[in-house]
Amino acid sequence: MHVDLGDFRFLSAVKQTEDGQSFIGVLASRGANRGFIQVTSVGDALLEPGDINVSTKQSDAAKKEQSDDLAGVLLSNGSAVLEGLTFGKGASTLSDDGKTVLQELSAYLNADPTRNIVLVGHTDAEGSLSGNIALSKIRAMYVMQSLIDEFGVAPAQVSAEGVGFLSPRASNASAEGREKNRRVEVVLVTVK
């Protein structure tokens, strides 16, 4: 059985009977073109269905995934889009409305000098690939310089790269999609 450690589900259940407890575990994973399910039971859990009690209590990991604060998203996903930063078409300068997310990111970085990030610039698909890669790196460097100059982040904690239009998060066929694609993401590279 193949288990993709980045994409699997596991369910465990217990059934209390007069004779004691029965246990069951179900593991589900998938490959490129097939699915895998493994069922393990201890006791008589599969012999007769019983009353099913479902707990809807969220695990701490699930709560962390749903976190909307930048630090929570970084810790659970390893990367985050710096929402609120806006770049005009072909522009590398930021509007002032993006300063809140930079303040939040700088607070996270300044709290622990061992935290390191890479800022990754992105563009829409208008223009050449080489021009967009250069522009996206300039955008990331502009954000990096803002973190250093305006928010006191140590230069050793931040680097900047650009990938142009190679990693869109929306279709470039619409103006709204192109606007979403003009962004900077932060990637957490601290290994602890």
Task: Divide the 192 residues of the chain into consecutive groups of 10 and give the mean pLDDT of each group.
Answer: 74 81 83 76 63 54 56 90 81 74 95 96 94 94 95 97 95 93 93 66
- At 27 the pLDDT is 84
Sign of CA dihedral 101, 102, 107, 111: positive
Please tell me whether residues 180 and 86 are part of one structural domain: yes
> How far apart (Å, rounded) are the C-alpha atoms in residues 192 and 179?
35
Give the total number of structural domains in the chain. 2
Q: Which of 39, 56, 73 is the last residue of a domain?
A: 56
Residue 144 maps to a domain? yes
- At 124 the pLDDT is 93
What is the SS3 assignment for 119? strand
Closest residue by Cα to residue 178 from 127, 124, 129, 139: 124
Please tell me whether residues 51 and 132 are part of one structural domain: no
Residue 80 maps to a domain? yes
Residue 2 maps to a domain? no
Global pTM reads 0.64
Residue 106 maps to a domain? yes
**Beta carbons within 8 Å of 108's beta carbon, 6+ residues apart:** 70, 71, 74, 115
Q: Residue 43 is part of which domain span? A: 8-56
Helix (H) or strand (E) holding 73: helix 70-77
- At 120 the pLDDT is 97
Please tell me whether residues 44 and 138 are part of one structural domain: no
Phi then psi for 104, rounded to 5 degrees? Answer: -65, -45
